[in-house]
Amino acid sequence: MKKKFSGFLVSPGAMSAYASVMAILVGLLFGFLILLVSNPAQAVRGLGTILMGGLGDSWRGVGQVLYYATPIIMTGLSVGFAFKTGLFHIGAPGQLMVGGFVAVYIGVNWTFLPGAAHWIVGILMAMLAGGLWGLVPGLFKALFNVHEVISSIMMNYIGMYGVNLLIERTVYDQLKNQTVSVAGTAVIPKGGLDQIFVNYTGDYADASTVNIGIFIAILMAIVIFVLLYKTQFGFELRACGLNRHASRYAGINEKRTIALSMVIAGTLAGCAGALMYLAPASGLHMRVEEILSPEGFNGIPVALLGLSNPIGVVFAGLFIAHIEQGGFYLQRLEYMPEVIDIIIAAIIYFSAFSLLFKRLLSKWLLARQSRREEGGEPK
């Protein structure tokens, strides 16, 4: 039993988890230095506020963490899925906006749908739109070997400006420079979660905006995990990611695999758009924007910290949302809210060193275990 536990501690999965934790710790240390430079007197309290995250606002804060984690878990799944198949997917922001627009358009105009089906159809059609948008860079990669980063970036901006044009010509509210708000039947239900994650001040209830979208995100993570690790198709996807040429030699259709991988990644990002824009607080309408949605790009650090594992992505998304909530509360200590963006950027940067951390940890733990087995170190 003891040997099995020791073997688990030095397993590749454990090493990867240690590397992610080290990236987070180094990123937080860097963030603490930023806090020291910005406002030395409040630096320790500021770091504590970040670490407390949503817990700083009791149950409502926890609900807000779940709410803001929902779209970045989905974009993290999108990016991580493509990573597993050997593709550096950076097209999630555009696919999120395209999927979000389709969801909002259906939410505004398809009022003939019954209430229970309206928001479900909106999500499904957003997933379809995101998948079709992801197919384009997938085909360019599969047929013409155009690098997916270049084609994805181009599709991001085509998607953003295309959505702006469609908003202005279909569901535009000129007074607010945004779409008309979606119908009430298209809003994702809260499922009673707002009654759980709520703070009471006397008779006043300060409820969070969490909804059942978090359950949809977790369900999608489970589906992707099963697809990748429990099916032949998932094995082919991962095999192409590890070595495309060897996979082709083994009889796997690499072009089909590449195209389908980008379609599935786009589907997940499109779902993120629906969960974001059919939800209250940050959603129910889309603004005409000149910048891409940050939720799309936040999928990259979530995928990196989660090691592109669907289950790891869920926890990474919750962590990023947790410290983002902490960053929001930093304003109480006279810090600019952008400080948390610097900390997240530092975590992303050090995540790139996760392979180095993993190798160093592996060497140290294996050497330590070897000394124990030889009796050179007390157990």
The domain locations on the chain are 1-39+335-379, 57-328
Element (H, E) at 258: helix 254-277
Q: Is 177 left (phi over 0), alpha (psi -120 to 50) or beta?
A: left
Q: Which amino acid is at 303?
A: A
CATH topology of domain 57-328: ABC transporter involved in vitamin B12 uptake, BtuC (1.10.3470)
pLDDT at 351: 75
List the beta bridge partners of residue 201: 204
In whole angstroms, what is the distance from residue 320 CA to residue 317 CA?
A: 5
282 or 181, which is more confident: 181
Angle (CA) 268-15-297 rounded to 5° is 30
User: Is this prediction's pTM over 0.75?
Assistant: yes
The confidence band for 9, taking pLDDT boundaries of 50, 70 and 90, is low
Q: How far is CA 285 from CA 281, 292, 326, in A?
A: 10, 16, 26
Query: Which of 72, 48, 343 is CA-nearest to residue 351?
Result: 343
Predicted confidence at residue 375, as pLDDT, reads: 64
- Band of the pLDDT at 8, cuts 50, 70, 90? low
Is the per-residue pLDDT at 73 higher than 70?
A: yes
Give me the pLDDT at residue 282, please: 66
Write the pLDDT tens digit of every residue in 233-272.
999 999 999 888 899 999 999 999 999 999 999 999 999 9
Residues 6+ positions from 85 with CB-CB distance below 8 Å = 237, 238, 240, 241, 257, 258, 261
pLDDT at position 135 over 60: yes
AA identity, residue 209: T
CA 133 from centre of chain:
18
For residue 205, what are the β-bridge partners? 200
Total residue length of the chain: 379
Helix crossing, 12-38 with 339-351: angle to 10°? 150
Residues 126, 99 contacting (CB under 8 angstroms)? yes
Listed in order, strand segments (DSSP E) in the chain are 172-173, 178-179, 198-201, 204-207
Region of residue 288 (left: phi > 0; alpha: psi -120 to 50; beta: else): beta
Give, for 200, the enclosing helix (H) or strand (E): strand 198-201
Is residue 204's pLDDT more than 70? no
